[in-house]
């Protein structure tokens, strides 16, 4: 039998902590708990497979915990954010958090995010040669994109953006992350929006109701999970 996946829950509110402990244990995860940033920093030294991190902690900013962690560890981090802390959530993603859920959240949503983050972390870069979700097929080696079996011609930039989204399928990517990776120079978010719009016109069955490239309002974009 393999070791259970260990989740560190960093959250100061006892009812949420209890809820997470009960639900995650029921899924077979081993759960460690920290009620403060200081306690989290202690537990971060041990072996962990994923961290669920509340940004609003009593003794320190959750972002400071994340920064400290990223100095020595690439463990997947899912941030718990409140509706009133949109900026904190984007900042957390830019600091290397893998994903976020907004409070109040459903357990299914959190568990899906945890699974995606773990899978993504263990996946070798470039290991995936092709990607399919619904009617969308992307051949990453030959750079061929098909929608419902018909080949779609993409411009160089559109292709770069789709390849990046595909490499991180299921994960939210911030505007700044995409711009950094695709343009490599500071570029207005508006350009990214224009390219996403063009891309959707080519690869979405209904560009106004996108099913593949999903908008994360105020944050960035997420490509639908692969089939």
**Which stretches of the chain bind Ca ion, using CB under 5 A?**
12, 54, 56
Class of residue 21 by CB neighbours under 10 A (exposed 0-12, middle 13-18, buried 19+): middle
Distance in Å, CB of 159 to Ca ion, minimum = 42
Residues in the chain: 227
Q: Which residue is nearest to Ca ion (CB)?
A: 56
Distance in Å, CB of 99 to Ca ion, minimum = 18
Distance in Å, CB of 13 to Ca ion, minimum = 5
Query: Do 78 and 51 meet the contact criterion of CB atoms below 8 Å apart?
Result: yes
Query: Which secondary-structure segment (H or E) carries 84?
Result: none
Which is nearer to Ca ion, 12 or 216 (by Cβ)? 12
Which is nearer to Ca ion, 60 or 140 (by Cβ)? 60
Count each helix (H run) and each strand (E run) in the chain, helices first: 8, 12
Which is nearer to Ca ion, 12 or 94 (by Cβ)? 12
Closest listed residue to residue 43, CA positions, set 22, 69, 17: 69
Which is nearer to Ca ion, 60 or 219 (by Cβ)? 60
How many CB atoms lie under 10 A from the CB of residue 24? 21
Distance in Å, CB of 141 to Ca ion, minimum = 45
Which is nearer to Ca ion, 54 or 137 (by Cβ)? 54
Distance in Å, CB of 172 to Ca ion, minimum = 21
User: Helix or strand or coil: residue 67?
Assistant: helix
- Dig out the tokens for 175 from the structure: 């505007």
């Amino acid at each position: 039998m393999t070791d259970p996946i260990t989740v560190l829950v960093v959250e100061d509110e006892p009812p949420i902590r209890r809820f997470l402990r009960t639900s995650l244990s029921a899924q077979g995860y081993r759960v460690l708990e920290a009620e403060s940033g200081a306690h989290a920093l202690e537990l971060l030294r041990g072996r962990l497979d994923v961290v669920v991190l509340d940004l609003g902690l009593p003794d320190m900013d959750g972002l400071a915990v994340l920064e400290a962690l990223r100095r020595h560890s690439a463990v997947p981090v899912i941030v718990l954010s409140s509706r009133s802390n949109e900026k904190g959530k984007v900042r957390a993603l830019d600091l290397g958090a893998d994903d976020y859920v907004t409070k109040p959240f459903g357990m299914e949503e959190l568990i899906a995010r945890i699974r995606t983050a773990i899978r993504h972390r263990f996946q070798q870069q470039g290991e995936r040669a092709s990607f399919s979700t619904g009617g969308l097929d992307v051949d990453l080696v030959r750079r061929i994109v098909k929608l419902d079996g018909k080949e779609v011609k993409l411009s160089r930039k559109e292709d770069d953006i789709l390849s990046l989204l595909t490499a991180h399928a299921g994960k939210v990517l911030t505007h700044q992350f995409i711009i950094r990776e695709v343009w490599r120079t500071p570029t207005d978010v508006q350009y990214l929006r224009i390219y996403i719009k063009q891309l959707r016109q080519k690869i979405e069955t209904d560009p106004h109701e996108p099913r593949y490239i999903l908008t994360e309002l105020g944050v960035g974009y997420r490509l639908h999970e692969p089939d």
